[in-house]
Structure 1
C-alpha cells in the first residue's frame, strides 16, 4: 500500500520553521516510518520574497518547484495545503492558528500553544466545530527515548515514582539584549523563561506523572505552587520554579532560567522506590538515560561494612536511544503522528492531546499569577489576568 501523503503549509520562516521543514522532507524510511510521506506545498512569510528565499534555501532542489511562496493568508487559502505548521513567535500562535482553522486547515502549532488558557479553549472549540485536527508541537514526546523512559518507569521494576526534578536553563545574558524587540525578554512578546523554556520540563513531568498508570483517570494536578524571580528591566521572569503535585502519583519540581546554565550532564531526575533514573542533557533532545537501582538494605549500600556488600546492588546502567542521523534533529516524528491521525480521521493525538496541552497551559497561567509576571502578549493582554 502506498504511504499516506500529507501536504503542508509552513507559516513563518525563522529558525524553528527552518529546522522543522528540513526534517519534514527527509525520507521517512530513515526513521522507520514507511506508512506516511510529507510534502511542502506552500510557505508563508511577511513578504513573498522572504518566503521564496526560504524555499530556495531550505527545500531540496527537486522539491522547490512544487512549493509556492506567499503571505500567511495565501497559505491558508491554498487548496493544495492539508495542514499548516505554525512557527511564529508564541504571542501570535492564537491569531495564526485561528486563521488557519477558519480556512479549513488542520494545524500543528509550536509550543507554548497559546499565551493563556482562554486562547487555547477558543482554538480547541473552533477545531472541534470545524472537525479539524489540532496539536501542539511537543516534538520530544515522539522521540525514541521518550517511549523508552516511560517503559522503564512504568514497568514497575523500580516501584512507584516519588519525585521528579526537571530543568531547562541557559545564561542568555539578558542584559545585553534589546528589551523591546528580543522575544526572550520583551514584555509585549511574552518573554521570560517560563513560556519559552518551561514546556520542556513539563514534557517529562506530563509523561512520567500525568500519564502514569497510577493516574488511571488522567486527573489534572491536585496543586501548583509557583515562584518567579522577575527580570526588572521588562517584568518577565528571569527564573521560575514550580511544584506540581498529582495526588497519590507523585510530585514534580520544575525550573527554568535565562541567566543560569543548567547541568550539562542530566536534565531530569526521577526518584522511585527502588531506584533513580536520570535523563541526559539536553531536556528537549536527550539521547540516553541512566538507571541506578536502590540497594535492598544498608549492608548492600555500605562497601565498608562487615563484608556483606553486594557489588551489583548499586550498579548503574546507561541506555542509549538516539535519534538516527537519517532523521535529522527529529522534528519529523511529530509530523508522522499528525499524518497518521489525519489519515485515520482523528481530531487529536492520544499521546499529545488537547486536554494535556490545557493542563500545561493552566500550570503556566497559575505560576505567572503567583509569581507576579508583568509581561503581556502582542495583543496587550496582561500576564497575570
Structure 2
C-alpha cells in the first residue's frame, strides 16, 4: 500500500474553532476508515509569539483521541509565528486554515492567496458577496485551492440523507423548515463579544445562518429533481434587533425553489433553543425527512409517514452519530481538502464555490433588508 499523502497545514488564529479544527487533524485517520491522506501542522500564527506557542503547547498536552497524532509527530515541526503573514510566507505550509472572525476572513484569506497558499476559510466565507467574489477571482487567477469550511457537508449523515432523497422514496419536495436557535444568555455577555459586536460580524445571521442554509443546499438545491440548479429566490426576510448593540437577535428568510415548486423558511435565533427533534424538516409528497438537533452536527434523522396518505408506510430512524474516537467531526472536511490538493483540484466538488456564492447572497439580502446597524456596512473588497 502506498504511503498516504500528507497535507501540511498553517493555522491562523488560536480561538476555539481553530483549536477544535487543529485537534481533529491529530486524530487517527483509521478511526474514520481513511488511509490515503494524513495531516501535519507546520505553523500556527497569532498576534503574539506567546499566544501561538501557548496554542501549540496545549495541543501537545491534549488527551486521546488527539494524543495519537502528537505521539506520531504531527506537531514535531510546528512553528509558532508572531504574525499571520509569517505563516503565509512559510515554504513548508501547503494550505492555510482561516479561523478569524468573519469580518477578518476576506483580508486574511486574500493575504494567504496572494502569498501563493491554498486556503480553507471558516464559515460564513466572508462578510458580503463582493469580498467572496474577489477571493474567487484571485484563487482562479493563481490556480489555488479555495474552500469554505462547511464541515456539515462532509459528515456521514449528510451523504445518507442525500441517498434517501436520490432513492425517490419520499417523492417531490414540497416544504422545508430549518432552525438553528440557542439561548446564548446575551445579557450576561459583554458588548465586545463576537456574537454582539457589529465590527466582528455579530448577530445570529452570520454566526448561525450557515447551518439552516447548508441543509437547504443539500436537500433542495442539490435534489435530483432540481436539475437546472437555478439559485432559489429570497422572497421574504425579517430581523429582530438586539437593542444593546443593534445586531440581529433573530433572523428569518423564505426561499422559493421554482423548479421544485417548493418553499423553505430558514431561521436563526440567539434568544431561545430550537426544537430538538425537528431542527430540519423536509416535507415531501410521500413522507417527511426530519433531522434532529443540533443542525451543525446532527447524528440522527427520521423518515416519517404522512397521515392518511399513500407513500412511506413506517417510521424509521437512522443514526450516524460521530463517535468520540473521531474527535469533533472536523477531520472529514480536512480529508476532502487533502484529496483535492493532492489531485490538483482548485475547488472541492462537495463544497463548490458557486454554492458558497448562493448562500452568501442570502445573507446579503437578509442583512440589507433588515434594520440592524450592519445593514449598510461594507466589506473590504478592493482594499
Shorter-chain TM-score range: over 0.9
Quick check: 1:296–1:313 contact (8 Å CA) kept in 2? no
Q: Name which of 115, 124, 128 aligns with 2:136.
A: 124
Residue 238 of structure 1 corresponds to which residue in structure 2? 249
Q: Does residue 1:159 correspond to 2:156, yes or no?
A: no
User: 1:176 Cα shift?
Assistant: 2.4
1:294 Cα deviation from its structure 2 partner: 2.4
Alpha carbon RMSD of aligned pairs, Å? 1.8
Aligned residues: 367
Shift of 1:376: 7.2
Q: Could you say which residue in structure 1 is the equivalent of 2:199? A: 188
In structure 1, the residue matched to 2:320 is 321
- Cα separation, 2, equivalents of 1:111 and 1:382: 15
Mapped to 1, the partners of 2:252 and 2:233 lie a distance apart of 17
Deviation at 1:178, TM superposition (A): 1.6
Superposition TM-score, scaled by structure 2 size: 0.92
Q: Do 1:139 and 1:333's aligned partners in 2 also have CA atoms closer than 8 Å?
A: yes
**Which whole-Å CA distance do the structure 2 matches of 1:353 and 1:373 have between them?**
30
3-state DSSP class of the match of 1:64?
coil
Matches within 5 A, 1:138-217: 138-179=150-191, 181-217=192-228
Cα offsets for 1:151-196 (capped at 9, x unmatched): 11221111111111101011112222222x1110112211100000
1:186-207 deviations in whole A, cap 9, x for unaligned?
Answer: 1221110000001000010000
Deviation at 1:123, TM superposition (A): 0.3
- Asked if structure 2 preserves the Cα contact closer than 8 Å seen for 1:82 and 1:106, the reply is yes
- In 2, the alpha carbon distance for the partners of 1:54 and 1:220 equals 41
Q: Secondary structure at the match of 1:230?
A: strand
TM-superposed deviation, 1:360 = 0.4
Segments of 4+ in structure 1 off by > 6 A?
Answer: none
CA distance in 2, matches of 1:63, 1:34: 16
| Counterpart in the other structure of 2:230 | 219
3-state SS of paired residue (1:38): strand
For the structure 1 residues 214 and 313, does the alpha-carbon distance in structure 2 shift closer, same or farther, using more than 3 Å as the test?
closer
The 2-side partners of 1:205 and 1:230 are apart by 25
C-alpha deviation, 1:313, in angstroms: 6.8
Q: Note if 1:345 corresponds to 2:344.
A: yes
- Determine the C-alpha separation between the residues in 2 that align with 1:65 and 1:172: 38
Aligned partners of 2:186 and 2:324: how far apart in 1? 33
Q: Is the contact made by 2:234 and 2:365 (CA closer than 8 Å) also made in structure 1?
A: no
Confirm or deny: 8 A CA contact 1:51 1:69 kept in the other structure.
Answer: yes
1:1-385, aligned counterparts within 5 Å? Answer: 1-59=2-60, 60=70, 62-70=73-81, 71-179=83-191, 181-249=192-260, 250-295=262-307, 297=309, 314-375=313-374, 381=378
Asked which structure has the greater CA Rg, the reply is 1
Q: Residue 5 of structure 1: CA displacement?
A: 0.9
The Cα shift of 1:34 comes to 0.9
Unaligned runs of 5+ in 2: 61-69
Q: Provide the secondary structure at the position in 2 that maps to 1:359.
A: helix
Q: What is the TM-score normalised by the length of structure 1?
A: 0.92
Cα shift at 1:293: 1.9
Change (3 A) 1:87 1:368: same
List alignment gaps of at least 5 residues for structure 1.
301-311
